[in-house]
Homo-oligomer: A and B are copies of this chain.
Amino acid sequence: MKKLLIVYVFLFSIFFIYLYNYHLKEPHSSPFGQNEERLQGEIGEKYVLVTFQAGIDYWKSAIKGFEDAASELNVSVEYRGATQYDSHEQITVLEQVIAKNPAGIALSAINPYELKTTINKAIEAGIPVVLFDSDAPASKAYSFLGTNNYEAGVTGAHKMAALLDHKGKIAVVTLPNQLNHKERTDGFVETIRNEYPDMEVVAIKDGKGDQLLSEQAATEIIKLYPDLKGVFATEANGGVGIADATRSLKKEKAIKIISFDTDKQTLDKIKEGVISATLAQGSWNMGYWSLQFLFQHNQETSTQQQSVQSAILPKYVDTGISIVTDENVEDYYAD
């Protein structure tokens, strides 16, 4: 009798273990026949994010977005970057990534022309590529996710107008030969010209992306226009340099500065009140939606349900701009 008891318990256990395992492996079907599980990838599917100047803080949010999407989609990700600002190095890194035949590549192209051939090589090898932050429009990459720089300049202009009560002389410190900076400047200058008749952009100077040279440029402008009310910097080193200039000339209170991006130095200067605002790019969105796009592309090409339309990814995503001031600056340290 005792033996029989053990046999019964054993059989019941086997049955429940079977039932338990069955439900772990199969998608749960509800009584209504609806599939209760979201489509998910395999952890073996590896997606790679490739940058340049890999060490800089600037990429942190994009990598975080890429990782957040990966954990939602249950796929693996890897981060590879050229260490220098060197297109040959980035081409080599990209070649190495292609050789491993990953499930997809999200790339920020250091140079639109020099990377084109290698990007196309990946596409021709059947590896989907999307570009983020810095585009290579002539390549065959499926999509670009980044800031609309002209619109960012427009946002900067409206914020400057609000800070200055819609009047006064202002200047821009930028990198006139780099396309994204030219677009930011154009958006800013054209908005001021067209929408704020009592404001005037009196100078546009080259700060070469360098803190000291931007400080010198700002100092020259302020000496030439002692009634200057504001300066827009199209990149972060410029903003810090201008802040140094206003401080040396004891003009911190008289001149409002709007800068770009959210590195620690810029955020610190917003807390101190020397920089009034900075424009934060949607870097998390770039990483997050890059992976969502690559994953969706692979779903489409691997399932029977594909239609022509769903097989084509959106061409461009404007990942947006938000304004950081002393009111919300703390939130951006967390990013």
Contact = CB atoms under 8 A, between A and B. Distances in A.
Interface of A: 1-2, 4-5, 8-9, 12-13, 16-17, 19-20, 23-24, 28, 30, 34-41, 43, 61, 64-65, 68, 71-74, 145, 148, 151, 280, 282-285, 288-289, 292, 296, 299, 305, 307-310, 312-322, 328, 331-332, 334-335
B282 A312 contact: yes
Contacts of A30: 43
Nearest to A30: B43
B72 A316 contact: no
Given A320-B312, A320-B315, A38 B335 contact: no
Contacts of A334: 307-308
A43 to B, nearest CB: 7
17 contacts: A4-B5, A5-B8, A8-B8, A12-B16, A20-B20, A20-B23, A23-B23, A37-B74, A38-B73, A39-B72, A65-B309, A148-B316, A284-B310, A288-B296, A309-B322, A314-B318, A317-B317
A328 B309 contact: no
The count of identical subunits is: 2
Nearest to A305: B68
Contacts of A23: 20, 23-24
A9 to B, nearest CB: 6
B316 A317 contact: yes
A28 to B, nearest CB: 6
A216 to B, nearest CB: 33
Contacts of A332: 308
Contact of A320 (B34, B313, B331): B313
Given A38-B40, A68-B305, A316 B313 contact: no
Contacts of A72: 38-39, 299
Contacts of A315: 148, 151, 282, 318-321
A41 B151 CA distance: 34
Contact of A71 (B35, B151, B322): B35
Given A1-B1, A9-B8, A12-B13, A331 B308 contact: yes
Given A38-B39, A72-B299, A308-B335, 20 more contacts: A9-B12, A16-B20, A23-B24, A34-B43, A35-B71, A36-B43, A37-B74, A61-B309, A64-B307, A65-B310, A280-B308, A283-B309, A284-B310, A308-B331, A308-B332, A308-B334, A312-B320, A313-B320, A314-B320, A316-B316
